Amino acid sequence: MTHIVLTIIMAAIALAISRRAAATVISAALTFVISYFGLPTLSWGFWGIIWTITLTVTICLIQGLIISDDYWDYQPRWIGVIIGVIVMVFILIVIPIFTGSLFHANSYHGLLGSPKPRTYATDTSPVDLSQIRIVDQAVADRLGDKKLGEQPALGSQVNIGTMNIQQVNGQLYWVAPLNHSGFFKWLSNGRGTPGYIMVSATNESDVRLIQELNGQPLFLKYNKGNYFGGHIHRYIYNHGFSTKGLTDFSFEIDDNGHPFWVVTVFERRVGFAGDDAVGVITLDAQNGNLKFYNINEAPTWIDRIQPEDIIISQINDWGKFVHGWWNPSDLEKLAATPGTSLVFGDDGQCYWYTGITSVGSDEGTVGFMLINTRTKEVRYYNQPGATETAAMGSARGAVQDKEYTSSFPILYNVSGNPTYFITLKDRAGLVKMMAFVSVENYQIVGVGDNLHNALREYRRALSGRGNMIAPDAGVSFREAEGSIQRFGMEVSQNSVYYYLIIKGFENKLFVGSSDISVELSVSQIGDTVKVSFDDGGNAIVDMIGFDNLEIEFQTTDATVGVESQFQAVKDTTRRHRDQNNLDARWEQLPLEQKREIMRQRQISDGN
């Protein structure tokens, strides 16, 4: 119905301007085609309806130029052509000029809001190895294709759509719908495609083909791979949303596994530009039910409302127009680094991550941003460091003889230090190694054939640079002593890992390998042990040191001397590191707080 109404309106405009049947018919036909396939937003501020009107006026002008010579003597038509020219000049010249940044630089600058500096170490909890994303989108696609290939009859009928990362019941999964593999497959299957694929982002072996929901067969009737009225964009457009800006059609499931299409609704804040998300539409992929939500009313299972392209555009406008439109010296201009990633905070929220760099800088950043993908809350961390590209090169360089490719970095908190996590893949796309790279200094790298080894090497590299624990990290060095209540082991990628729960620390699971201490391999339930670790509040903790107090191996005097020297070096390194952390903490204190501390110190010395 929307397409027919628009066609009638454009035909009437053509008839009023040209007074010719040919122009009217051509305009009507082209309008219907553009409306049906282009789905122009029928609202002021969007170019779709403007270009449709421009097309109609152009057709009338062209016909006016090729008709008989007495056309220009016909006063009403001549006036109509002049009006048409004026309309086109307004559309093609006036609107772009008065929508541009020349007159609205401050408006563009303010679209993102007012980012305020934050402290990363206190905003996010230290890394939990069980939640690190070792599966990126490319690997998820490969694993999904492999799962689909296990059912040849199904694989010939459908293919896998775009993988989207999301939280499902607190766990990270890549989720993608099954799409029809072609027009005739869609035509012959009116019920829809039989389900969707789930791939764990933290466990390569957890791949699922979901074809039932609550014991009933699952069919996605509404999909991107559909045609004509069943295509999700056209379906939403024709059901009351032709006047809304629609973008970012992403497939998500709720915590019960029910499939939806989630579509962002946006408006134009600055004339015909300045896109800004205002709400979200959910389309039930099974029955076609539609619901619109304002941002603050959206269901909690929805992870993405703020589209990536809109957010990056607003970040660049915020940095570009920091001093208005006229800034030929590029003073304090900032821009987002190429590439973004989705990160999930310990608060259960999803964020767009991007580095922030000075205009003209190639390898360095002045900080980074985390933007809430639902509310658009902006967290800006003013911490200079390496770009994502530089970190990827550093990870590859650590094993350059392997000629591995690297995934795009994901940001994590390791002992209060912002850290990139990167997977390294061979030519077949298989994950072979993993790397942690410091954001502050991309020369600090830890690489290993699994998460534990990579993190251990990274911690060693951090310790060697004197910043094992960052100031204000919310992380403290602790020791736990008690008897082993539970003890287990796991063999993973040629390494043996030991898991233990210690009496008095039942809320933590301590993890370590025999590289930490050979005593781990001969320990058992009931032994009294002492472990050292960096406590950031996580339930799963990597041990730094381990000592079984009931085992004492025979040692020579030479061995005792070596151990004493080694312990002395460790103690010296720790004191230097602690001093470095204190010095860094002191430098970060406000001047008034420094003065108050000095005043209290003088009072204490006087007493």
455 pLDDT tier (thresholds 50, 70, 90): confident
Which one of 68-77, 397-406, 531-540, 551-560 scores highest in mean pLDDT? 397-406
456 pLDDT tier (thresholds 50, 70, 90): confident
- The pLDDT mean for the chain works out to 80
In residues, how long is the chain? Answer: 607
Residue 260 scores a pLDDT above 70: yes
Q: In sequence order, what DSSP letters do the residues of 136-175 get, joined into one string?
A: -HHHHHHHHHHHHHTSHHHHTTEEE---EEEEETTEEEEE
- The confidence score (pLDDT) of residue 5 equals 72
Can you tell me which residue has the tokens 């086109």? Answer: 88
- The confidence score (pLDDT) of residue 72 equals 46
Q: What would the pLDDT profile of 536-553 be if each residue is shown by its tens digit?
A: 666 777 787 888 888 876
Q: Percentage of the chain with pLDDT > 90?
A: 25
- Which residues face 480 on adjacent strands? 531
Average pLDDT over residues 252-277: 92
Nearest Cα to Cα of residue 151 among 74, 220, 204, 209: 209
State how far the alpha carbon of 514 is from the alpha carbons of 292, 324, 494, 517, 519, in Å.
55, 59, 12, 5, 8
Residue with more model confidence, 343 or 494: 343
Nearest Cα to Cα of residue 538 among 203, 202, 131, 127: 127
State how far the alpha carbon of 591 is from the alpha carbons of 122, 166, 594, 595, in Å.
21, 43, 5, 6
DSSP letter, residue 600: H
Average pLDDT over residues 100-116: 86
* Range of lowest pLDDT (209-223, 333-347, 450-464): 450-464
Which one of 170-179, 377-386, 591-600 scores highest in mean pLDDT? 170-179
Residue 469 scores a pLDDT above 60: no
- Which residues face 479 on adjacent strands? 532
* Range of lowest pLDDT (402-406, 419-423, 426-430, 601-605): 601-605
The SS3 of residue 125 is coil
483 pLDDT tier (thresholds 50, 70, 90): very high
At residue 526, φ and ψ (nearest 5 deg) are 100, -20
Structure tokens at 232: 């999700």
State how far the alpha carbon of 171 is from the alpha carbons of 12, 131, 167, 204, 344, in Å.
56, 8, 5, 14, 10
Q: What would the pLDDT profile of 587-605 be if each residue is shown by its tens digit?
A: 555 566 666 666 666 665 5
225 pLDDT tier (thresholds 50, 70, 90): confident
Q: In sequence order, what DSSP letters do the residues of 493-539 get, joined into one string?
A: TTEEEEEEEETT-TT-EEEEETTT-GGGGG--TT-EEEEEEEESS-S
- The confidence score (pLDDT) of residue 472 equals 45
Which one of 456-460, 502-506, 530-534, 587-591 scores highest in mean pLDDT? 502-506
Residue with more model confidence, 601 or 27: 27
Q: In sequence order, what DSSP letters do the residues of 312-366 get, joined into one string?
A: HHHHHHHHHTBTBS--TT-TT-EEEPS--EEEE-TTS-EEEEEEEEETT-SSEES
- The confidence score (pLDDT) of residue 68 equals 47
pTM, rounded to two decimals: 0.76
Assign 3-state DSSP to the chain and report helix, strand, coil percentages, each to 5: 40, 30, 30
At residue 349, φ and ψ (nearest 5 deg) are -95, 155
- Which residues face 171 on adjacent strands? 168
User: Quick check: 6 and 42 in contact, CB under 8 A?
Assistant: yes
Can you tell me which residue has the tokens 């994950």? Answer: 431
Structure tokens at 504: 């008095």
- The confidence score (pLDDT) of residue 447 equals 92
| Burial group, residue 598, by CB count within 10 angstroms (0-12, 13-18, 19+) | exposed
User: Quick check: 432 and 545 in contact, CB under 8 A?
Assistant: no
DSSP letter, residue 76: H
- The confidence score (pLDDT) of residue 506 equals 87
Which one of 59-68, 69-78, 120-129, 532-541 scores highest in mean pLDDT? 532-541
Structure tokens at 524: 């058992």
